Amino acid sequence: GDVRGRARLRKMVWVKIRAVAAASETQQLAAVGNTPTFGEWEPGSALKFRRVDEMMFEAVVEISEAELRQTRYKYVLVSKDDPGRACWESGEDRVVLFEPGQTVVVQEDSLVTSVFGDGVKFEKGPTDYTGAQDSTNGA
């Protein structure tokens, strides 16, 4: 039975995060946190969201259950006009709520009352904040 136990340690989870946010057309939304999938607190490597509606953003990512359990994150807004600065969400870190053994998790976050700070410079990384974010074109 211990082969199954080892496989369970590497179990992957599909996470869909839906975030409601009053972001302007020129702002990109991303989640940045303490684990590799969330950029290890570096906005340049953060998980970027796509805009699916005026105030609805979503991101889908596959992550190991172990990493997900440790993940703490906050949202950042990055202006396409000033892609080297991130406005950080204030308040407590967020966590993804899930049951052990779940293979698909949908997290609903509301940022409607969130307060974002002034832009803080960050190192450029693989996350592209200057490109298109609208997923509905041509769909």
pTM here?
A: 0.86
pLDDT tens readout for residues 97-106: 999 889 999 9
Residue 135's pLDDT is what? 46
How is residue 45 written in tokens? 């490597």
| Maximal CA-CA distance, the chain | 55
pLDDT tens readout for residues 47-106: 999 999 999 999 999 999 999 999 999 999 999 888 899 999 999 999 999 998 899 999
Q: Mean pLDDT score of the chain, rounded to an integer?
A: 89
For 76, the 3-state DSSP assignment is: strand
Answer yes or no: are the C-beta atoms of 111 and 19 closer than 8 Å.
yes
Answer yes or no: are the C-beta atoms of 43 and 30 closer than 8 Å.
yes
Contacts of 21 (CB under 8 A, 6+ apart): 29, 55, 57, 75, 77, 111, 112, 114
Residue 136's pLDDT is what? 44
Dihedral sign (CA 98, 99, 105, 110): negative
